[in-house]
Amino acid sequence: MGGITEKFIVTAVAVKTTSVATSKIKGVAIPGYIESRGGVIEDIVLSENITFYRVYSGNSKTGGWLTKVPPKSRKLAQEGLALPKKNKATRIQKVDVPAGTRLQRSRAKPMPEFGKKHGGMEQFELKGDIPNSAFGKGEKFK
């Protein structure tokens, strides 16, 4: 995980990826939902505040998928994070995630359903709510 390992309380779980995903709420299969997590999936609880980044398009001020390192370009974000077609990656924002927050770390897997053949970037899914104020002002992404 690089230089931020000491900032996490980590429980690593090797997970066999499948084409059937489960809901975050009840653990039941959701028809039409496509699993986007690959590799080793780790449950993480932050032991201190850490800044992450969120890539998005449109007017959504918050979201549940983050990266630790800001992608270098829109194209890299779209391919490396295997973003859905509707996410044009036109904006990027800092997200100050507070200590005690639970996240799930994984690698974006290729999503041919979205026309994305690469994936591979590290991604973090928020597994709980954080304050809306944790999401910084979005800036245009080059």
pLDDT of residue 86: 85
- Prediction pTM value: 0.73
Alpha-carbon distance of 10 to 27, in angstroms, equals 22
pLDDT of residue 111: 62
pLDDT of residue 5: 42
Map residue 3 onto helix, strand or coil.
helix
Domain count, the chain: 1
Lookup: tokens for 138: 């979005």
pLDDT of residue 23: 37
**Residue-number span of the structural domain to which 109 is assigned:** 2-140
Q: What is the pLDDT along the chain (142 residues), one digit of tens a residue?
A: 444 444 444 333 333 333 333 334 344 444 444 455 556 778 889 999 999 999 999 888 999 999 999 999 999 998 888 888 888 999 999 999 999 999 988 888 766 665 556 777 899 999 989 999 999 999 998 7
